[in-house]
Amino acid sequence: MNPTNTLTEPVETSEHPMENILRMDRIPHIWCSTCGIGTALTSFAEAMKKVDTPLEKVCVVSGIGCSGRSAGYIKLDSFHSTHGRAIPFATGLKLANPELKVVVISGDGDIAGIGGNHLIHAARRNMDLVVLCINNFVYAMTGGQTAATTPLTANTSTSPYGNFEQPFSLPHLVASCGAVYVARWTCLHVRRLARSIEEAMNKKGFSFIEIIAPCSTIYARRNRLGTGLDLMKFYHDNSVIKHGADTRELDIEFQKKIIVGKFIDRERPTFLDAHNDWLKSRLKEKFIAHGGPVC
């Protein structure tokens, strides 16, 4: 008979598979039960295992809001900025150190509402950024007000009789402004989302991924849509994968079919590439005009 008391023996524990990406000392997180943001963050962590960029050269920027808390859980260089200013903050990081791969993770209110002007100009300039916009259709943290993405007729705290403002179609918005990579997935599509994030990370230029996420506490409750699990079932039954879809046809209607997939994957010079090429051409013209050496 083995005299060893197995109850007192130390239990062998293995490292959590995402421990090199997530700050485990801050787990469990404070997001609501069945919120989709944690699922989106899991897909991001999975993608980080396969990206070409060394993790020490990846940094994450977020703004304010439920999704803006993402930066605090990621064990990379991460920064919180003020509301709506995540993209210009990320732009500054990229311009100061072009070797960095800068990722913005924030919500639809922060990126497309408060920060909408920065969004369109970063896409226009083709800043070398990856933007993950977690869209739950409302300003969830501040009370459930109507957002720039709230579907028509949806109930919010500032549209209790139904929203009448036409929402943005985010993929169409950024594609028309010049983004080189545009995709949309829901929190149900965890593996496809992880692959999409990996593709965006390995691409130069402005990449944008919209992530449709359930907000069970505010959006679902006000609209009597059930729990977060009910919304995930809705995504399962109503998501239509259509790669290369015309971005003009990607509007999201209230509780209707959602077109997901990779819509844009193209090439054009990044802001820094265009700037450096312009600078070289100007210097060349200057030297020729003054009879000096040509670099």
Residues 202-213 pLDDT 10s: 999 999 999 999
Decide if domain 24-267 falls under CATH 3.40.50.970.
yes
Cα(247)–Cα(173) distance, integer angstroms? 8
What secondary structure letter does DSSP report for 156? B
Reported confidence tier of residue 47, pLDDT bands at 50, 70, 90: very high
Q: Please list, residue by residue across 247-271, b when 16 or more beta carbons sit within 10 angstroms of its beta carbon and e when fewer do.
A: beebbbebeeebbbbbbbeeeeebb
Taking the model in full, what pTM does it have?
A: 0.92
User: Residue 13: its pLDDT value, please?
Assistant: 61
pLDDT at res. 281:
87
The predicted model gives 37-63 an average pLDDT of 96
Pick the residue with more confidence: 255 or 291?
A: 255
The length of the chain is 295
What pLDDT is recorded for position 5? 47
Q: Annotate 182-246 with three-state secondary structure.
A: EEEEECCCHHHHHHHHHHHHCCCCCEEEEEECCCCCCHHHHCCCCCHHHHHHHHHHHEEECCCCC
pLDDT score recorded for residue 290: 72
- pLDDT of 6 over the 80 cut: no
Delimit the domains of the chain by residue range: 24-267
Task: Name the token pair of 13.
Answer: 């524990």
Mean pLDDT in residue range 247-259: 98
Q: How far is CA 134 from the centre of its chain?
A: 6
d(CA 282, CA 291): 14
pLDDT for the residue numbered 286: 73
What number of other Cβ atoms are within 10 A of residue 142's Cβ? 14
